[in-house]
Amino acid sequence: MNPMWLVRMARWARNPPSPGRVKLVFGVIALCLLIFGYEWAFGWPDWLVPQKIRP
């Protein structure tokens, strides 16, 4: 592990993020999981499939 990461972890432990920042991060993770779950359950939409161009 890079020693700089230990410095970052120590700084983060002394000054934790605000509740709003934590909610934002969890919201983004939830949104990504929701999109992944939708794509897994229903498949990739046809309008996002690239079309082959014939010469």
Identify the pLDDT of residue 4.
Answer: 93
Identify the pLDDT of residue 35.
Answer: 93
HEC readout, 17-44: CCHHHHHHHHHHHHHHHHHHHHHHHHCC
Give per-residue pLDDT as tens, 9-53.
999 999 999 999 999 999 999 999 999 999 999 988 788 888 877
Identify the pLDDT of residue 46.
Answer: 81
Identify the pLDDT of residue 47.
Answer: 82
Domain boundaries, the chain: 18-45
pLDDT band at 2 (very low <50, low <70, confident <90, very high): confident
